[in-house]
Chain A
Amino acid sequence: MAQIESRGSGRTINTELNLVPFIDLMSVLITFLLITAVWSQVSMIQLGSSIHAQKTDDREPPPPSPLADIAMRLDVKATGYRLIVGAERTEFAKKNGAYDTLALTEKLQQVKKKYPEKIDTVITVADELQYESLVTGMDVLLQQGFAQITINPAEAE
């Protein structure tokens, strides 16, 4: 058991710390935390303004975001990404069979620097691609601060 031994003026004082309640408390706490622990880090990515579809309720649409007039769209195609900002089109071909997210990230950083207030964007994904491609594309956009993502169900030409 933990003990503190101190020698004062010739008299030895032996103080023992009682660790039993502490260990009891720790055991109960650890058991509780282990039982209630959620090990998988499941989270969500949020669609900023949903998908292009017909209006279904009577509520007023949300006000447009700043710089909404500057068209911005990310096309996820089988061959790679295509980013359209205004009249500028940039293609990012696949590298070794994988999407070039690094190049896209750099380009998006430039766009964000140019239009810091712009947060809305549209994403299109080719029908034959996998769901993972959509999530990856959205993730890159969200990481660069484009939080209002609209999914356009139509395929890019």
Chain B
Amino acid sequence: MAIYVPGRRDRHNRPLRSKVRNVVAVLSLTAMVDMFTVLVVFLLQNYQTTGEVLELSDEVALPRAHAVKELRPAHVVVVKKDVIMLDKEVVAPFARVKEQAQWEIPELVNRLREKFAEADRQRQAIAVKLRDAVADPAKASASAADDDRRITIQADKTIDILTIKKIMQTLKSAGASEMNFAVIKEDTAS
């Protein structure tokens, strides 16, 4: 496309010379529009519809893995180097759990059972309201129960396996339906 100097022109398309010099500054927006388009495409590609399911902490360095799945909403057990937390509430000090001989962590079991019971009560209350709307109430209820009892373990990668095993054993005892490990997704190429 031809680019012409802006300003008035004669019938032969030549710029008119006048005594008063007109200065018209035109911003070239093409580069900016190009950049905006590329930026929007990049951001839309990385857009996550599920939002942030986990709250990352600087104190927890997650391990890396390739074969990963998308995080789903769940109760989160955070294992830091000083404390063990359930849904942002401190449950037990890490040092004591590490030293204890028994595999079950009583505070974590009790807290989880309370949460599961509360979730069951809420689900039943909703199920009563929506009974007519659900085609297969029994199946829907079992599936929802599994969703409520899903646990994500967010542990520092340097934590010893024995403590992780104790936590997993505790979760199983409390009635967790599914356990997942939070990891940082690593690209296959790297």
Contacts and interface: CB of A to CB of B under 8 A. Distances in A.
Interface string A7-29: 00000100000010011001101
Interface residues of B, number: 62
B178 A42 contact: no
Contacts of B175: 56-57
Nearest to A133: B161
Given A37-B46, A143-B66, A153-B168, A45 B161 contact: no
11 contacts: A4-B1, A43-B184, A43-B185, A44-B183, A45-B65, A45-B180, A46-B69, A46-B180, A50-B172, A128-B160, A130-B161
A151 interface: yes
B32 A23 contact: yes
A1 B26 contact: yes
B40 to A, nearest CB: 5
Contacts of A132: 63, 157-158
Interface string B39-64: 11001101110011110100000111
Query: Looking at chain A's contact residues, is the secondary structure mostly helix, strand, loop, or mixed?
Result: mixed
Measured as residues with beta carbon below 8 angstroms from the partner, the interface class of chain A is 35 or more
B40 A29 contact: yes
Contacts, number: 160
A45 B69 contact: yes
Nearest to A51: B168
A131 B161 contact: yes
A38 B184 contact: no
A53 interface: yes
A126 B160 CA distance: 9
A34 interface: yes
A117 interface: no
B70 interface: yes
Interface of B: 1-2, 4, 13, 26-27, 29-30, 32-33, 36-37, 39-40, 43-44, 46-48, 51-54, 56, 62-72, 79, 103, 142, 152, 155-162, 164-165, 168-169, 172-173, 175, 178-185
Greatest chain B CB density within 10 A among A19, A37, A57, A132 is at A132
B13 A43 contact: no
A51 B172 contact: yes
A70 interface: no
Contacts of B173: 53-54, 56
A41 B185 contact: yes
Given A38-B48, A131-B161, A151 B168 contact: yes
A137 to B, nearest CB: 10
B116 to A, nearest CB: 11
Given A19-B29, A37-B46, A47-B180, A130 B172 contact: no
A5 B36 CA distance: 25
